[in-house]
Homo-oligomer: A and B are copies of this chain.
Amino acid sequence: MSDEQPTQRYRATVEYDGTPYKGFQRQANGHSVQQAIEEAIYSLCGADVRLTAAGRTDTGVHALAQVIHFDIPAGKTPFRVMEALNALLVQANERVAFLDCETVGNDFSARFSATGRRYLYRIINRRAPLTVERERAWWIRKGLLDVDRMNEGAKRLLGTHDFTTFRAADCQAKSPIRTLDELWAERIDEHEIHIHAAARSFLHNQVRSLAGSLKLVGDGKWSADDLKQALEAMDRKACGPVAPAHGLYLSAVSYRSAEGASQPN
C-alpha cells in the first residue's frame, strides 16, 4: 500500500463452513477462506492485503469464531467494514461471514497475540448415515461410544507433554511440546458427542489425532492407559486413525483483555 495513505488495523471474528474450501490458508490450487476474504477486502477498498489469522484450519474444517486482522486505508468504521464485507461475501456466494469487527492498534496480531485456541469436535454416533449433518460431524456407525471412558483417557493427556504421537508428519512447529488445558467429551443427546479441546496453541492435526484416538477409547478398543502409552511413545505410528476434518470446528480464540481492544481512531 502507498505510504501516503494512512492505514488502520481491523480485528474481526469470522465464521465459515469449511466444506467448499481447501482450508483457511491461500493455496496455489483451490479456493481458500483467506482468498475469499481477501477478495472481498479488495472489492471493498482496492487494497491487496494479506490477512493474518489465529489458526490455519485444514480443508473441510469449519470455524465458529476464527479471528483475523488486516490493515486497510483508514476512514471506514468497523461496522461499515463488517457490513460491506458480509454483503460482498454473500454476493460472491462464499460461505464465510464476519460476526464482529473492531479497530485495533498495530501491535495486535490475530496470530501472535492469541493466548488460547479452543476447538469443538462433533461426533454423531448412529447406524443411519448422516444427511442434514453430513460434512458437519463425524459419522461413527458402529457401537455406542462410552463418554466416561473417553474422559478417563482424556484426563491423562492434560498438561504439558511432547505430543509427537498426535501431530501430523508434516507439522511445521519447531517443538512438539504443547500444554493441553482442556480435553473432554460431552454427550449432547442420544446420538451426539462433542469433544472440547483448549490450549495456547495446537500442533498440526493435533485435535483430529486426539479425537481419533479418544474414539478408540470410547468404543473399547483402547483403555485409558493405552492412550497414555500412545502419548508416551512419542511416535506418530502410535496414534489412532486421525478423525475426519469435517467434524472439527475452531470455536474460540482468546486474547489478553488489553490486546485487541478497540482503539480510538
Interface residues of A (CB under 8 A from B): 15-17, 62, 64, 83, 86, 89-90, 95-99, 127-132, 134, 136
In the bound complex, do residue B64 and residue A15 qualify as a contact, i.e. CB atoms below 8 Å apart?
A: no
Picked from B17, B89, B127, B132, the residue with its CB within 8 Å of the CB of A64 is B132
- Are B17 and A95 in contact, CB atoms less than 8 angstroms apart? no
Q: A97-B129, A128-B97, A128-B98 are in contact. Are A134 and B17 (CB under 8 A)?
A: yes
A17 touches B131 (CB 8 A): yes
Q: What separation, in Å, do the CA atoms of A16 and B131 have in the docked complex?
A: 5
Binding site secondary structure of chain A: mixed
A-B contact pairs, 18 of them (CB 8 A): A15-B131, A15-B132, A17-B131, A17-B132, A17-B134, A62-B132, A64-B132, A83-B127, A86-B127, A86-B128, A86-B129, A89-B129, A95-B134, A96-B131, A97-B129, A97-B131, A98-B128, A132-B136
Partner among B16, B96, B131 whose Cβ is within 8 Å of the Cβ of A95: B131
Q: How far is the CB of A235 from chain B (nearest CB, A)?
A: 34
Residues of B within 8 A of A89 (CB): 129
Query: Cβ of A127: which chain B residues have Cβ within 8 Å of it?
Result: 83, 86
Chain B hits for A86, CB < 8 A: 127-129
* Contact for A128 among B15, B17, B128, B129, CB less than 8 A: B15
Q: Complex formed: what's the CA distance from A46 to B17 in Å?
A: 39
**Are B62 and A97 closer than 8 Å at their CB atoms?**
no
Complex Cα gap A128–B86 (Å): 7
Other A-B pairs, 11, CB within 8 Å; known A15-B131, A17-B132, A97-B129:
A16-B132, A17-B131, A17-B134, A62-B132, A86-B127, A86-B129, A89-B129, A95-B131, A96-B131, A97-B130, A98-B128
CA gap between A17 and B132 in the complex, in Å:
5
CB contact between A90 and one of B17, B129, B132 (< 8 Å): that residue: B129
